[in-house]
Amino acid sequence: MQKVPLTIASRCQRLDFGRISLPEIEKHLRKIAQAEGFVIDDKAINLISRTAEGGMRDAISLLDQLVSFAGNKITFDDAVTVFGTADEELLFSFGSALAEGDTAKALKLIEQGVSEGKSTLQLIRDLVGHFRNLLHIVVGSGEALELTKDYLERLKQQAVLFSLPKLKECIRALSRAEMDMKWHPHGRLVLEVALLELIGEGSPIARREAAVAPDVSPDAAGQRISHIRAHWQDILEAVKKKLVFAYVSLHEGEPLEINDKGKLVVAFRRGYAFHKERLEEAKNKAAVEEALREVIGEKVLIDCKVLEGKKETLLSPRAVAEFFEGRIL
């Protein structure tokens, strides 16, 4: 409409089509089924209506595909097969795996979905939708979801396993993975890494590692931080070889202390929050921790913090010079 001249637009009628409600679509699909003489499950009708996203014509087209595939008796499984979506059992199993921190179960579920013919891109979209549904339940807006009563009840049962921050983290991580998957040659790998990062410290592997807790007594912590400071330049060089962006951010920080969890705290001056946030990204953090392991000879995890004090420039001339392998004149 923006390209239509006002002299033409003023002589036109503009009709904005809105989404049709889920109950209206379901009612019309049942009417079609009755008129055409075939039987279809209520759950299949609900899935068609939700997949159509408010479009009646799309819903009728999907129904036509199902009739061509399944004949005069259409089940929910038929709809799942034709649309390539993840069935609710698979989605709830994924939710349980994340809530329990079960890495092996999550990876097996990905294998199950792929072996059933589901694309990893569609699978991750369905997972985003599932955690969105759980989010609505947790914040108390479940009535906004156009779902069956049985499905809502199952969502309520699983929602108690998640906190609001965890659900938001799941949605953000899976949404990022969906974007990355469009450009990555190995979409399944993107999904696997995203789920592993979400499970994080809740996984059995992480719990076993946590069982062997490092010595965080004052004397031991003092010795470890002194050792790290003495080899800080070596650590920076090791990080630079692995990931230059991690190096640029780490270069602006300094080893502050070993905290009560045995983690190295990398401190940044006020005004350097950008570098702190950049270093906290999973790939940058992993590069630093791997470099620490290589140089120090033991596994050291990191935490980042910004120190209070005088605000300084965001990027020092020294860091810029080293990044471009130049020198200050």
CATH number at residue 247: 3.30.300.180
Same domain? 182 vs 246: no
Residue 19: the pLDDT is 82
284, part of any domain: yes
303, part of any domain: yes
| Cα 107 from Cα 123, distance rounded (Å) | 13
The residue segments making up the domain with residue 34 are 22-83
Residue 322: the pLDDT is 61
Per-residue pLDDT of the chain (329 residues; tens, 9 = 90+): 568 888 888 888 878 778 888 888 889 999 998 998 888 888 888 888 888 878 888 889 988 988 888 888 888 888 888 887 777 888 899 999 998 888 889 999 999 888 888 888 888 988 999 999 999 999 888 877 777 788 888 899 999 988 888 899 899 989 988 888 878 888 888 888 888 888 874 444 444 444 444 555 777 888 889 999 999 999 999 998 888 888 888 988 999 998 888 889 999 988 888 888 888 888 888 889 999 988 988 888 999 998 876 544 445 566 556 656 667 66
Q: What is the pLDDT of residues 24-76, one digit of tens each?
A: 888 999 999 899 888 888 888 888 888 887 888 888 998 898 888 888 888 88
Nearest CA among 303, 296, 184 for reference residue 239: 296
Residue 140: the pLDDT is 87
CB neighbourhood size of 229 (10 A): 13
Last residue of one domain, picked from the residues 51, 83, 115: 83
Last residue of one domain, picked from the residues 65, 83, 101: 83
Find the CATH number of the domain harbouring 127: 1.20.272.10
The verdict on pTM exceeding 0.85 is no
Same domain? 288 vs 250: yes
The tally of domains found in the chain comes to 3
CA 25, distance to chain mean position in Å, is 31
| Cα 225 from Cα 54, distance rounded (Å) | 59
Residue 135: the pLDDT is 92
Residue 75: the pLDDT is 87
Same domain? 189 vs 294: no
58, part of any domain: yes
Same domain? 182 vs 99: yes
Q: In 86-106, which positions are buried (b, 16+ CB within 10 angstroms) versus exposed (e)?
A: bbbebbbbbbebbbebbbebb
Q: Which amino acid is at 292?
A: L
Last residue of one domain, picked from the residues 37, 53, 83: 83
Angle between helix 120-139 and 103-115 (nearest 10): 130
Contact partners, residue 219, CB within 8 Å, separation at least 6: none
Beta bridge partners of 268: 253, 306
| Cα 251 from Cα 306, distance rounded (Å) | 14
